[in-house]
Each structure stands twice: as C-alpha cells, then as structure tokens.
Structure 1
Amino acid sequence: MHSSRARLLAAPRALVAQSFPSTASVRWQSTAAAPQSSTKTKPKSAPETSPSFVKNIFCGRLVTDQILPYPNVLTEEQTENLNMLIDPTEKFFQECNDAARNDELERVDEKTMQGLREQGAFGLQVPTELGGVGCNNTMYARLVEIVGAHDLGVGITLGAHQSIGFKGILIAGNKEQKEKYLPKVASGEHMAAFALTEPSSGSDANSIRSRAVPSDDGSHWILNGSKIWISNGGIAEVFTVFAQTPVKDERTGEMVDKVTAFIVERSFGGVTNGAPEKKMGIKASNTTEVYFDNVKIPAENVLGEVGKGFKIAMEILNNGRFGMAAAMSGTMRSSISKAVEFAANRNQFGRKIHEFGAIQEKLARMAMLQYVTESLAFMISSNMDSGSKEYHLEAAISKVFGSEAAWWVTDEAIQVMGGMGFMKESGLERVVRDLRIFRIFEGTNDILRLFVALTGLQYAGGHLRAIQTAIKNPTANLGVILDEGSKRAIRAMGLSHSGPLPDVFLSLKDQALDVAKTVEEFGSACESLLIKYGNNVVDQQFQLNRIANAAIDLYCCAAVLSRATRSLELDLPSAQHEKKLATVWVNEACSRARYHIKGSRSGSTKSDFDAMTSISNDLIENGGLVAGRALGF
C-alpha cells in the first residue's frame, strides 16, 4: 500500500521545530523534515518568510504569489508532447486494460503490464536521456488523472513504483546511482518499491527498528529487519529501504542511531517476501511483507547521507503527494459521468430523476468537489514545476481533500444510481473499495491534518515572537509596533483590516472579500491558541483538527477563485459554469471555516471536547461500549 497505511511523520510533537510564544521557554527539536524556506538567511530576531499561501493564512495574511494568477508552466513543446501522450493512454485503458479482471485476479494482468512498459508508463518522470518519458510534474499529473479514472489498482502499482519506489533515486541519488538504476526501472524491466513501514512504525515513521551496520572494512552495510504493507513488495527488484544506522553525534561525540536510506536490490541476497495480503480494495496491487536477512548492501548504495534518511523519506512523500489528488480527480470524473448518464435517463414518478432537487443537489456537489480537487492538483504541480520549495502544506491538503472528496463523490454516485450502483456490473462497488485506502496511506488524513495545523502554527509562532522581541526595543521597532497595533485595534472594533483576495475576477468580488475576512479571523484564532497554550498547543488535537479543517477550506477557496478567474478572463466556454461552481463553493466553505474557527476557541466547545475525552477513556477502561442495552438485557 505505497509501503504503508500511514507513512508520514514522527509523532505529532516532532512536527514543530521551534517554540511558540509562552511563559515557558521550552523548545521542541524537530525530527520531521520541515519545509525549507526559500528566503535568504535572516537575523535570529527576524521571522521566517514564505511564499506559501497556507503558511501565511496562519498569520492572517494573504500572500498570493503561488495562487494568482492560476499557474500554468507548460511550454508549447511540453503541451504538444503531453497531447501526444494523452490519447494513447486513454485508448490503452479503455481498450486494453480490464480493471474488473485485474480485481478478480488480484494482480495486474501480464498483458496490461507489458502494454504499460511499451507505453513508457513506468518512467514518466525519468529524464529521456536515462530512458524515461521526461514528464514534469504537471504532465505527470495529467496522465495520472487518466489512470485514476480507469483503474486504481493499476494506479497504485505504477505509483508505488515511480511516485515513491524509485523517486528517492530521482531526487536524492548521485549521478552514478541514477545512471545505474533509472534506465531499468524506467523501462519496467525492474519494478521498484518504497520500504519504510514496520509493525511498530506506522504514522510514527521515525521509530523504525530495521537496522544496518557497516562492515569492518567499510565496504558494505549489513541490513536486518522487516517491513509490512509494501506495495510491489513481491514483484520489486529495487527497494528504497530505511533503517537505523550508528552515527556519531556531532555535539556529544557518542554513537547514536539515525535513519539512513539505502538502495537495495533483491539480487543482493537475503531479500524475501511474504504472500500477497488479502485486502478490501486495490486487490490488483501487490502488497506484501518484505524481510531482510543479513543483506549486504554496497557502501555506494547509501542514498543521500548516512543518518539523513528520515528527511529523504519525508521529501519523497511530500514530492509525490500531489499526484494522489490528480488520480482522485480522475476517479471522480468517471464516477460523476456514470451518475449523470443514469440520472439523465432514469424515469421515476413520470419524470427523469435529474429533475428532482435532491438529485440536482447531489450532482452539483459532486461537480464542485471534483472541480476543487482538480484545481488543487494542477496548481500545486505548476508551483513545483516553477521551482517552488514551499508546497508541503498545500500538497498535504490536496491529499486529504482529494481522498475524502473522491470517497464522498463515488458513494453519492452509487446513491444516485440506487440498486444499479450497488451491483458489481456498474463498477462503482470496486471503485469505492479501492478508494478507502487513500484516506489511510501516504500519511493518514488524521496525521496530515495535524501536520498542516502544527506547521502553520509554528510559522505563525515565529512571527508572534518577532513582535514580542520588537516590543522589547520600541524605539528601534516603532514602525512594526504601530502597524501591528493598528491591526489589532481594527480587529477589536469588529472591522476588517483586509481588502478582498486580490486579482480575482470582478464578478467574484464578494467571494474574494469573504475569503479575505475569513483569513483575517483565522489568523486571529491561531494567535489566540498560541498565546493560550504556548508549547502545549501540540497536545490540543481537538482544536488542531478544527484549525486544519479551516485552513483546508480557505486554501480550496483560493484555488477555485484563481481557476475560475482565469476561465472568465479567457472567456472559456465553461467560464460561467465555473463561476457558479466557485461561487457556491466559497460561500459554503467560508461559512464552514468560520464554524471551525469558532469551535477552536469557544469555551462551550472546549467543554464538549473534555466530555469526548472522558467518553473515550470510559470505552477504553471498559473494553468497549459502556452504556447498557436499550432493552436492559
């Protein structure tokens, strides 16, 4: 399952690298790979700056460099190359791949595998000089969208191979490693897998126990351990493996264990796997345990630096996460098409069912969720292709939103189709089984929400500390103090300091203003949480979930307003339809965000949180439900 049902980070506390404003002066040391700032080194008193839209809303600010105008970085040549790939890929999945058969076989049919090799599907992002197709992230996302529309089992096989399996070699490998491994994995001659998760290490990926020690002569490493839920685990020849290794601590001089990444070949010997796992969905994807018994890994197969493997693991996951949103966008397109076709032709009570308001609302909401997800996927891929290093929170949001949206949309498609949707013949029962895993792997949505909230609060905390520092020397920092004071005074009077989200099409100005006002309110709520809880905010997961949900809605609002603005400016045929999608989405999403903001700071809501903690504790102590049966026996 892309190596795990929850392969993201260390425990939530390790998500935050710096202290928040507090009466205590505790500092947290991060073991997670923190997003790198694209700015130059600044004095310690200066706060970090970032072009990330999501990071900045935690400070109540609108920074729109990466969202407006809606980005599109494809050159004419890349657009032409992509168009040449789209039709053959569509045709292959429509005519050559049989998703139902793959599901029944519980493996991808060999004819399909060979066809994918011939299509170049196993090396989409590998440079052409190394045998790949040479796609950038945006081109890759568009092709992944097609796969997601047709067969998620095949999608996982391809994604586990290239999105994470050999992605480490692509982004962190040296010249020799790339030249040795990329041609064969790009051709599909060798399959790849990402081996991180272990029985005791799921969401807390830094707690792995597999261990590699250097040989006496330093020529190789000896690896022992095991991994679970490894996608392609039974068919891979090349593995990106993460293991604890002895490293000298630069501060103390003592030897400590730190994670190192290795490129491991099955041919090294000592690499075996268990039988394929029996799963609810994505049955065509090969998922197994993988065992390493005294595997001798050449010293030159260390990926990156010794002791720096955890950062590489996080970068691989962060780098590939946008692709999931693209796949989910494709899945929703397919599910919606089936629901629309059925609703347009099904007669009940003397009318087509699409004429009934209940069905109309379902179809409209399905379309909105697909539009948002697609907007996120290609905004992020374009940002990455533009060279941005600040996309981690946005990519995490796209994964959370897309996986939950696709689940809801496909479930509603089944509902629209009624009994027909429930039947195997429609194909939707397989899709809904396949979709369930997407909220779990590539970082569970629960952990990703904490990642978004805590990383954003960390950023806001740095800015709040800078203000506190400025107050200590008011003469030298008078401008900063007066500016901040005016903002707070305006907020205290219940007024907004912000104008509308800039550069949005005029007919969407009300929605642009609503987003701006909600962002300001969101920043104020984040500041209140930091001041109230300080470092202990990491333990306030009820509040953090609400903060994350508000951040997700606000970023989605910005993405759809940006995309709809582009369509309106270009007067595209679908522009007015997109305007309606954006209008309804933003109106409702801002209301939801304000609801979550209120929930993060309300005293009565805090009382409910305490009650839920107590209810949960009662269940654990009782070993199950506490309330007696309704009949008393």
Structure 2
Amino acid sequence: MWKLKSLKSPVQTIVLRRLSVGDSRLSQKHDSKKSPVKQNESFMANIFRRSFVPKQVFPYPDVLSLEEKESTGSLIDPFERFFSDINDAAKSDQAGKTDEKTLSALWELGAFAIQVPENFGGLGLNNTQYGRLCEIVGANDLALGITIGAHQSIGFKGILLYGTPEQKEKYLPKVSTERVYAAFALTEPSSGSDAGSIRSRAVKSADQKYYVLNGSKIWISNGGIADIMTVFAQTEIVDPKTGEKKDKVTAFIVERSFGGVTNGAPEKKMGIRASNTTEVYFEDVKIPIENILGEEGGGFKVAMNILNNGRFGMGATLSGTMQKCIEIATSHANSRVQFGQKLKNYGSIQEKLAQMSILQYATESMAFTISQNMDGGSQDYHLEAAISKIYASENAWYVCDEAIQILGGMGFMVETGLERVLRDLRIFRIFEGTNDILRLFVALTGIQFAGSHLKELQSAFKNPATNLGLIFKEASKRAASKVGLGGSDLSSHVAPELQPYAKQTAECIDLFGQTVEELLLRYNKNIVNEQIILNQLANAAIDIYAMVVTQSRSSRALQLDLPSAQHELNLTKALTIQASERAIKNLKNATSSHNRDLTEKMSTIAQTVCEKNGVYSTGVIDI
C-alpha cells in the first residue's frame, strides 16, 4: 500500500502540509507497546473509510448550560443596539475606515475580547457564544467583522492556543482592556495558499537571546493599526539527532514597539473597504527568544491550527449575513406589487426565497454543530470546519445575489445596501484558505484517512489467522452495502417524518465510501493529481454534511416542540432532495469513463488557452 505523506507533487506541497497538521490522528496506527491512539470521532473523516460514527452529529449537540445561554442572551441586545444606534456601515464603506468613536464603543462592549478569559480582562465566552455574536456582526457590517475577526479570531488566537503562561499574562490584557489591536501576518507576495514557501527570515543572535527578523507581508488585515502581531518566518533548525540544518517556519509574537516594524498605505479593495489592509515590513526587528509562539520550527502547525480553529466563525458570521439578505428580500416581496399581484405570490420569487432560506439554515446548522463540538472538547473538527467555510462563503454570495435580483433595479442601488454586502462577500471565498485549496484539503484529508485503513486491512490479510475479526467485519460491511442490506443507518437518529430522507442520505454515505475505495484502488498514490475528481469528492462530502446536520437539527426542533419545527423539517426535506441528487451525480462522475473523457477535454482546452494567452478561436471577420 502507500502513504500520501511520501508523495512529492506540487499539490501535496500546498495541501498536505495543511492536512498533516490538521489532525494528528489521521493514520490511527496502533502500537502494542504504546497506549492506544484515541479514535478519530470526525463524522466526515470516517465516512471516507466506510465507517459510520454519529457522535458529533447525532443527536444535535447542545452543550451550552442555562447560565451560558442567559449570559449570551444578555449580550445580544447591546450588540444589536450598537449596530442600530452607533455603527454606520455605509458611511464607513465610503470613508474607507471605521471612525474612532465607533471603534471605542465596540471596545467598551468587549467585542474585541470575546474569548479572552475573564481574568485577563475579556468576556471569557466559548466558541458557540462567540458564534452567536458573529451572526449579529455578519448581519450588519462585514468590514467591521473583519477588523474584529483579524484581531481575535486569528490575530491573538495563537496566544490563546499556544501561549505560555507568561505570554498570556503579558499580552492578553493588552488586546482586551488596553485596546491594543492584533494582526496575523502570514501571507507574502510569493506565498498565498502555499504558506510553507514564505521568505521572511529570522536569524538567532550569537548569544541566543533574540531573533532578528527581516521580510515583508502583504494583505494583512489590521496591518496598519496593530501593535501586536503573530508573525511567521523561516528559521534555521538543527536536528538534535543528526545535526542536520533545515529551514522551518517559526511563529513569533512581534510588537511594533520592538522597532523596525512599518506598514504601507491602506489597500484599495473591491469590498470590506472599512477594514484596514496593508503591507507590513520588518527590518532588523529584534524579537526576544521568549516571544516564540509554540516551538521553534513549529510555526506551520501554529498557523494552520489558528486558521482551523477560527473557520467555524466565518460560517456563523455569514449565516447572519444571509439572514439579513433574506429579511430585505422578504420585506420587498411582501410589499412590492407588479401586474396586480404582490411579488410573494409569484412562483419564481417563492422558489428564490425558499432556496435562500434552505442555504441559510444549512450554513447556520454547520457552524453551530462545529462550535458546540469544539466546546464539548472535540479535537476532530478540521474537515467539518473547512466544509463549513466553503459552504458558507459560496452560498452567502448566492443568497445576496438573489436578494438583489428580487429587488430588481432597487437592489442595484447603493441606498439599499446590498451592493456593499455583495462586494464585501467576495473576499470570503479567498481568505483563510481559498475554497479551491480547501476542497483539496477535504478530499485529501479523508483519502489519507481511508488509505491508512486500507493499508491496515491489507496487512491483516498477510496474517489472516490472527486478524479474522477485522477481515470478516470489513468483508461483511462491503458485501452488505453492495447488495443494499446494510451500510449506514440514520433511522434511529432522526424524526419519524424524516425517515425517507435519512435513507436517501445513508445511500449517499455508502456510495461515498465505495467511491473512495474504488478511486484509491484505481489511482493509488496518483489520486493526488486528479484534482477534478478530488473536487467532485469534496462536493459530495459537503452535500452529505449539509444533509446530516440539518436532519439532526430539525429532529431536535421537533423533539423540543419548537414553534419553528415544521418549517425546519420542510427546509431539511427540500435540502436533502437537492443535495442527495448532487452528491450521487458527483460520485458517479468521479468514477465514470464518460466524465474522464470530459476531464481530459477540459484540461486540453485550458492548456491551449494558456498557451495562447487567452481566447483562441476564429475571429468574426474571418468567418
């Protein structure tokens, strides 16, 4: 068998670096001389290896205590009043910045220190509480949301996750009560998605007391206002066993007061104009050795886990944006009369509003399933968080675009505010991991997990006498799923009304596992280069996760007899019908010869376009 980690393709360089730090338990190897490795509980990782592990999705997680729910509720009203009474998103967009009075009011609310422990001056909220406040921000001002998120979701998140007690004692009060902004400085001109190729370098001094940093970063949110930054640079690391020297990325806490830290002018951007985005330059910056964040040479792990940890917040934020767009569109549909009828009575408008609502419900369900799993202590959420980010960013764009369409010419006008939201939304498919790279991350992470399991099974066949249990279990599972007698069964986890839809989802899950295995056997390690197929797998995975979390959430709503229960069930049923069809189509395409022919044609066309530097066809006057 094979290991993906042994591959040396460009795709592996960019993507597998990320997945290798995303889940330390991917391979699930067992060494009898060591204590057993804890089982990976990720629902999505396990369906890649044809294993149904429902713990993270059924029943719908509900980890907040009554006290936590009440404390969150007490914050919602002040946050909403801030956006209605103080903040002016349109004014900030036109000015290209948020005024100090507005930011000061936000500091007073504690919005810049939501997850900082109370003993360091913060609100001390958990991920789910943070996500609920993110929804309010997303419904009102995405640019301001970037300022807040760049500060705490990634800016000082590394200190929360990896900081020593001394680092936390020194810096967390600054970023919470002393109103010091933070930033996350990773991206460089030569390293976007391939974060491991950064060129900024930090050299250790002869006396081993500090590092000297030189280099530059681009597109840094809060880059012009931050006085504390999490910065990543190449450092020379000596292997203690071999003495070999290697360059590895190390993370540092850098203060502007160290000297040598400057920034360029604010960037002119399509959207999120009120957020501060600049280049940042480091010239002979002396960083004390105690400001290393995590371990020397462990910076890539720090960077990726910071991003992984914060991605659920994007889903929560954008579910709020989608909610606001739906409210605006619904208000217009309820009042606007055309051809003697209100817009809400026309089937085409009803279809748009329904589709927008389905996508918002699934986006919100994903975000809070993940956040509550995190709050429940799970470490196996990286696949789901990546899926949530992709789903939220793409569907928020769709929902806003459809809201504009419902409003017609009025939606195109600045006064309505939707054109600003649409501009602001475009960046979310790019930053904190482009959706293209994250799709490969989802597919390859799962494939690596499945591949390790197939290797384990192959090893079992070498010594069948001592591994009969494993062999029979897997053989039974495969035989049953192929003849439709077994496989995944969601029936005991969902409301009776959802049974037929749960069956559809289970069929998708079983086909998914079969498809992964077939692709592994067909392509072996070369699967890493089949990006179109990997995208089809990722898209099927995304649809499966959407079906599962909505079925779980709506079942809970019915069980609790919530007023919205029947509506939530209808949203779930409609989503399942659509998502199951897409998932099956993607999975069948991934293994079909017809689709392979199309893939080759697309590749040839793209190569020709690149060779000709654009469109290459007969000109009109030549016809």
TM-score by length of 1: 0.94
Corresponding residue to 1:164 among 150, 154, 159: 154
Superposition pairs for residues 149-160 of structure 1, below 5 Å? 149-160=139-150
Q: Cα 1:239–1:67, aligned 2, differ >3 Å: closer, same or farther? A: same
Q: Is 2:271 the counterpart of 1:272?
A: no
Does structure 1 conserve the Cα–Cα contact (< 8 Å) formed by 2:158 and 2:230?
yes
Q: Does residue 42 of structure 1 match 2:41? A: no
Match of 1:611 among 578, 595, 601: 601
2:11 aligned partner: 12
2:238–2:245 contact (8 Å) kept in structure 1: yes
| CA deviation after TM superposition for structure 1 residue 39, in Å | 11
Give the alignment partner of residue 175 of structure 1, picking from 165, 176, 187: 165
Identity of aligned residues (%): 56
Q: Which runs of 5+ in 2 are unaligned?
A: 1-8
> How far off its partner does 1:219 sit?
1.2
Structure-1 separation of matches of 2:100 and 2:172:
22
Q: What does the per-residue CA deviation read over 1:108-144, in whole Å, with 9 as the maximum and x for residues that have no partner? A: 1111101011111110000000000101000000001
| Higher-RCO chain (CA-CA 8 Å, sequence separation at least 6) | 1
2:217 is aligned with 1:217: no
- Return the match for 1:189 from 163, 167, 179: 179
Q: Pick from 98, 118, 124: which aligns with 1:128?
A: 118
Distance change >3 Å, CA 38–CA 627, structure 1 → 2? closer
The whole-number CA distance in structure 2 between the counterparts of 1:54 and 1:518 is: 13
Equivalent-residue separation in structure 2 for 1:184 and 1:129 (angstroms): 13
Answer yes or no: is 1:512 the counterpart of 2:511: no
Compare the two structures and name the one with the higher helix fraction. Answer: 2
Secondary structure of 1:135's aligned partner: coil
Distance 2:433 2:20 in 1: 13
Distance 1:632 1:56 in 2: 57
Separation in 1 of the partners of 2:243 and 2:492? 53
The match for 1:564 is 554
Residue matched to 2:5: none
Query: In the alignment, what sits opposite 1:415?
Result: 405
- Counterpart-to-counterpart distance in 1, 2:618 and 2:492: 57
| CA distance, structure 2, for counterparts of residue 398 and residue 439 of structure 1 | 12
Report the counterpart of residue 318 of structure 1 in structure 2: 308
Checking the alignment, whether the CA contact within 8 Å between 1:117 and 1:188 is kept in structure 2 is no
Report how far residue 441 of structure 1 moved. Answer: 0.2
**Alpha-carbon distance in 2 for matches of 1:11, 1:436:** 27
Task: Note the 1:379-528 alignment, pairs <5 A.
Answer: 379-493=369-483, 496-528=486-518
Residue 538 of structure 1 aligns with an amino acid whose one-letter code is V
Rounded to whole Å, the distance in 2 between the matches of 1:150 and 1:301 is 36
| One-letter amino acid of the structure 2 residue matched with residue 562 of structure 1 | S
- Give the secondary structure class of the aligned counterpart of 1:475: helix
CA distance in 2, matches of 1:201, 1:158: 24
Contact 2:22/2:308, CA 8 A, preserved across alignment: no
The question of 1:52 aligning with 2:42 is answered yes
For the Cα contact (< 8 Å) 1:107–1:284, is it kept in 2? yes
CA RMSD of aligned residues (A): 1.8
1:5 is matched with which residue? none
- How many residue pairs match? The answer is 613
Contact 1:48 1:459 in 2 (8 A): no
CA offsets per residue over residues 287-316 of structure 1, 9 Å max, x none?
A: 000000000011111111110011000010
Structure 1 residue 252: Cα displacement: 3.2
Q: Secondary structure at the match of 2:405?
A: helix
Deviation at 1:55, TM superposition (A): 0.3
Question: Are residue 581 (structure 1) and residue 588 (structure 2) matched?
Answer: no
Alignment match, 2:4: none
- The CA distance in 2 between the partners of 1:630 and 1:526, in whole Å, is 46
Cα displacement string for residues 236-259 of structure 1 (whole angstroms, at most 9, x for unaligned residues): 000000000010124531111100
Contact 1:141/1:323 (<8 A) preserved: yes
Aligned-residue offset at 1:41? 6.8
Stretches (4+) displaced over 6 A: 38-41, 44-48
Structure 1 residue 391: Cα displacement: 0.3
AA in 1 matched with 2:195: A
Tell me if the contact between 2:47 and 2:509 (Cα under 8 Å) persists in the aligned partners: yes
**Pair 38,443 (structure 1): closer, same or farther in 2 beyond 3 Å:** closer
| 1:63 counterpart SS class | coil
Kept after mapping to 1: 8 A contact 2:554/2:565: yes
- Equivalent position amino acid for 1:388 in 2: S
Q: 1:293 to 1:614 in 2, by over 3 A?
A: same
Uncovered stretches (5+) of structure 1, i.e. residues with no partner: 1-9, 18-28
Q: Is the 8 A contact 2:22 2:305 kept in 1?
A: no
Of 125-134 and 40-49, the range deviating more from structure 2: 40-49
SS of corresponding position for 1:72: coil
Asked if structure 2 preserves the Cα contact closer than 8 Å seen for 1:47 and 1:466, the reply is no
Q: Do the aligned partners of 1:122 and 1:188 also contact (CA within 8 Å) in 2?
A: no
Equivalent in the alignment of 1:369: 359
- CA-CA distance at 1:485 after TM superposition: 2.2
Whether contact under 8 Å (2:15, 2:440) holds in the other structure is: no
User: Residues 570 and 367 from structure 1, CA distance in 2 versus in 1: closer, same or farther, beyond 3 angstroms?
Assistant: same
d(CA) in 2 for partners of 1:30 and 1:557?
A: 26
Measured after TM superposition, the shift of residue 484 of structure 1 is 2.2
Rate the CA distance shift 1:48–1:176 in 2: closer, same or farther, 3 A: closer
- Identify the residue that residue 80 of structure 1 maps to in structure 2: 70
- Letter of the aligned partner of 2:280 in structure 1? V
1:118 is matched with 108
Change (3 A) 1:47 1:627: farther
After superposition, residues 338-377 of structure 1 pair within 5 angstroms as 338-377=328-367
2: CA distance, partners of 1:607 / 1:324:
37
Q: AA paired with 1:530? A: L
* Cα separation, 1, equivalents of 2:145 and 2:96: 14
The 2-side partners of 1:121 and 1:249 are apart by: 43
1:329 and 2:319 matched: yes
CA 31–412 in structure 1, closer or farther in 2 if over 3 Å, else same: closer
Aligned AA (1:131): G
Matched residues in 2 for 1:540 and 1:412: separation?
A: 33
- Give the superposition deviation at 1:331: 0.2
CA distance in 2, matches of 1:144, 1:508: 30
The equivalent residue for 2:99 is 109
Distance 1:211 1:468 in 2: 44
Q: Kindly indicate whether the alpha-carbon contact (under 8 Å) linking 1:14 and 1:31 is maintained by their aligned counterparts in 2.
A: no
Find the partner of 1:141 among 131, 142, 145: 131
Distance in 2 of aligned mates of 1:153 and 1:343: 28
Change (3 A) 1:188 1:62: farther
Task: Please say if residues 223 and 277 of structure 2, whose CA atoms lie closer than 8 Å, have aligned partners that are also in contact.
Answer: yes
Could you report, residue by residue, the CA deviation over 1:558-602 in whole angstroms, capped at 9, with x for unpaired residues?
A: 100000000000110000000000001011101110000011111
